[in-house]
Structure 1
């Protein structure tokens, strides 16, 4: 059974580049991961799809690439097949790549699809208010909002929203420490958060609600959706958005950016600046 946004995803204007890149996640009850894993891997490998899916009892998360027909078939499988209707309404975003951005296909089982190690954070039970990309500028332009980039420091270094706080985390589990030392429900009455595709923010917003914050907002679809639908002239995102594949970064319209990975530290860096790890 297709998800509500499936038709629009399929009917995107065909790009002249050959590979369709699908970013997909959903918090859902998947207590049969051991059964799902080989079936999903076989489906993808049989269609020469590459990338990574993570399965966990709390849901599914991954980014993969393949021919347009292969990715469309995968969407049919995810919205039905062994998953039944559990992935209906999943967050799915499509972009394009001139070359295959992944080396192989991997399906892994982990305790969490995004690691926070905070059992009280349960997006399936409670989550912050979703903000559509079209409404994001108005929200973050208000003077009473604390805007937080929930990504890692190396991601924020090449691009972020105007006025956003970078917690300087090395991994998502450190976000809990940042909240404990820098945020207070009595002082930060209204908090807005964003991340690459939306998944970290769902968990971060659930965590803040569990800590007593009441007005918690997050960008629906993440930076990727914002860059896809927001005209560059109206955008409040500066720089490029790091992505975890061979493209390294994307910019407005989800065009491939100019950032590259440093050979020494493997972190992204703007094309105009040398990394401090080199000499």
Structure 2
């Protein structure tokens, strides 16, 4: 039965419908750690119930809980909340509403069962995952950041922190959360008694990381409650100084939401100030990179001349050549390349 609980419409058609729709939608994220005995059954019921409400997005379900980034019709937002809060362990949880939202964040509903709701590489049986760091409000964050001995750590990936970060934050050069955990631990070995403030997009990565670092002997581990999204909301609501610079990278069609006016990154092709992430139009490459408007026009949305030339070929020719060629996206991790580099054919 569960195999039929999926979208049956072509992705390109779903994207077209989303892009041309005038329906107002609200983008939000949420997570909750909770023991789910049968994740597959829970996933299937969730798909049935939330599909009827017009929910789009990406949701991960595991025995340890749920993690979701979704959009819902604005007119039906209260109905969605009522349906969500009918689930006992989700009743009353915080919903992180997007800061900079055009309603075009998702175009279909995808719910997957995973081993974990965030891939962290940790053995949860070796430490108490419920003993987490202290949650800080935006006001408390600013107060603690003002201390000279406070250490601010970005628990996100390099391509996220490249376009936005807190002032003076340590930003690990990693592609995954799994990589960040041991690297940050090593970097902070001599600061186990100092106040540490961790942050991520919505807070979920810091929930697990803070418990892990407390287990490893760090004494004063804090995390921004609700992550960057909630911090920005509280700053605006309470008139606080927003110490986050630039954009908050998001894992949906928007690829970013503006938190402050600063542009802290550069176009990977020409070096001009830019913080617009995009994926190479060449689907055989599809690498994530930063591209300004001028370069997007000049290179037709591609990361290299080779990709521009390849994307211009007829689809049949692309299919024939694809197995014989290598592009930036097949040779490098996210954003780890020089965008004007010429890839060589695979011999």
TM range (shorter): 0.7 to 0.9
Shift of 1:122: 6.8
1:26 and 1:91 in contact (8 A); partners too: no
Paired residue total: 259
- Distance (whole Å) between structure 2 residues aligned to residue 273 and residue 205 of structure 1: 42
State the partner residue of 1:261: 278
TM-score (norm 1): 0.83
Please tell me whether residue 136 in structure 1 is matched to residue 141 in structure 2.
yes
TM-score (norm 2): 0.68
C-alpha spacing 1:150/1:67, structure 2 compared with 1 (3 Å) = same
State the partner residue of 1:196: 201
1:1-279 equivalences under 5 Å are 18-80=24-86, 83=87, 85-95=88-98, 97-120=101-124, 125-184=130-189, 187=192, 189-231=194-236, 234-252=241-259, 259-263=276-280, 266-269=287-290, 271=292, 276-279=338-341
- Which structure has more relative contact order (CA 8 Å, sep 6+)? It is 1
1:203-224 residue CA offsets vs partner (Å, 9 max, x unmatched): 1101101111111000001001
Q: What is the root-mean-square deviation of aligned Cα atoms in Å?
A: 2.8
1:65 and 1:101 in contact (8 A); partners too: yes
Q: Give SS of 1:240's match.
A: strand
For structure 2, the 5+ residue unaligned runs are 1-21, 261-273, 296-302, 304-337, 342-347
Q: Give SS of 2:222's match.
A: strand
1:71-112 residue CA offsets vs partner (Å, 9 max, x unmatched): 3323222222xx3x2123523112363343212111111111
Q: Give SS of 1:77's match.
A: helix
Q: Say which structure is richer in strand.
A: 1
1:247-277 residue CA offsets vs partner (Å, 9 max, x unmatched): 1111238xxx962314166335374796732
Larger Rg: 2
Q: Say which structure is richer in helix.
A: 2
- Distance (whole Å) between structure 1 residues aligned to residue 29 and residue 76 of structure 2: 14
1:106-147 residue CA offsets vs partner (Å, 9 max, x unmatched): 111111111112124877521100000122111112111111
